[in-house]
Amino acid sequence: MKRPIKHRAAVRFHIGTLEVLGTVALLDCDSIAPGGWGLAQIFLEEPVTAVWGQPFVVRAPSATQTLGGGQILQPDATKIRRRHLEVLEQIERLWTDDAETRVLTAAWFSGFAGVTMSELARSANVATDDSAALIAKLQAEGMLKAVRLPHREILLHADTLAILQTRIVDALGRLHSESPLVTSHDRQKIFGLLDYVGDDALVNAVIDLLVAQKSLIGDGRRIARADFKPKLSANLRKLKDKVVETYRAAGFQPPDPSAFAPQAGGNAANLKDLFDVCAAEGLLVPIADQLFLHADAESMLRECVGQRLREGPGASVAEIRDLLGTTRKYAVPICEYLDRIGLTRREGDLRVLAAVENRHERR
């Protein structure tokens, strides 16, 4: 090399029998002097196939001058941030003859996306006959972690999994701080807070791991930190259980929330908090002001009315009232609720199935 290679220099990249134009991004310096070396990422105008350790040569775009050469460390790298000390240290760890180090480093670079066993063996240049035993050894030592997703199993670096677990616990902690009366939260909220992970299935699987480790408590729908204590008093927690059971038994003729005021110590704020918690936990569904249905009754409502409207051209409030075995006092706000959530649509005195109408309109 007779002149330095500068950051963002245009080059002609030669590997095997291929040559492709590209741009050099120097990662740890602004230029590489003749006879020197540095870490670089090369962005090519066309894709090429390469493996770890494969040699390459870079020439001037005109191909009249050879600028230098090197070895491939990451055949399939994402864009790397310049002068990021931790990343640069990890890249240097790829430049080793130690297969274990290469495997762990390749897993680290895969981040939350993870890798399969075959992908990891390929990216770390480990022989097929050796990869299974090597990866099993690293798993046994706790340095690689297998995570089972719905249709595949991926491997994560132990540090990556620990980071994701911490972020899930911290995100749940923020939800608890924002809603100190709510005993548990829907998993979907965690997915939203961690959408940058890019894989809800992975987040869900790691939540399951945390539940199994007893860092979290909950089920397939709702979760809480094991160390969280809701701020409802013991009496209000007992009353909450009674309220939920009362609404379950009441079906489509639910009581007025004020009926529980004496048992809430006569404090309206306590009673409002209690019903807010029941709604936030998905136990009760608000239908209208001061009107709630038990979640099971609300599901049955959708099913019964939907089935009835699929069988006929429409139904009046009176017919829906009779179908549910309730009174007009409840039937009217229930019908308005069904309109609001998009299950039904009002046409004169009748309710029709909105989904059916929409399909007809699209035709």
Does residue 137 form part of some domain? Answer: yes
295 and 258 within one domain: yes
CB 178 within 8 A of CB 224: no
pLDDT for res 227 = 92
Question: pTM above 0.85?
Answer: no
pLDDT band at 267 (very low <50, low <70, confident <90, very high): low
CB 41 within 8 A of CB 79: yes
Is pLDDT at 360 greater than 60 in this prediction?
Answer: no
The span from the CA of 110 to the CA of 96, in Å, is 18
Q: What is the mean pLDDT of residues 232-258?
A: 91
Q: What is the mean pLDDT of residues 133-147?
A: 92
202 and 103 within one domain: yes
Does residue 220 form part of some domain? Answer: yes
User: How many distinct structural domains can be found in the chain?
Assistant: 3
pLDDT digit string, tens, across residues 44-99: 999 998 888 889 999 999 888 888 899 988 887 888 888 888 888 888 888 888 88
The span from the CA of 314 to the CA of 169, in Å, is 48
Amino acid making up residue 57: V
Mean pLDDT (the chain) is 88
166 and 106 within one domain: yes
The span from the CA of 308 to the CA of 320, in Å, is 9
**In terms of C-beta density within 10 A (0-12 exposed, 13-18 middle, 19 or more buried), how is residue 355 classed?**
middle
Final residue in a domain of this structure, among 180, 213, 231? 231
CATH code where residue 163 lies: 1.10.10.10
Q: Which domain holds residue 338?
A: 235-363
334 and 244 within one domain: yes
104 and 42 within one domain: no
Does residue 198 form part of some domain? Answer: yes
240 and 130 within one domain: no
pLDDT digit string, tens, across residues 142-174: 999 999 999 889 999 999 999 999 999 999 999
Final residue in a domain of this structure, among 180, 202, 231? 231
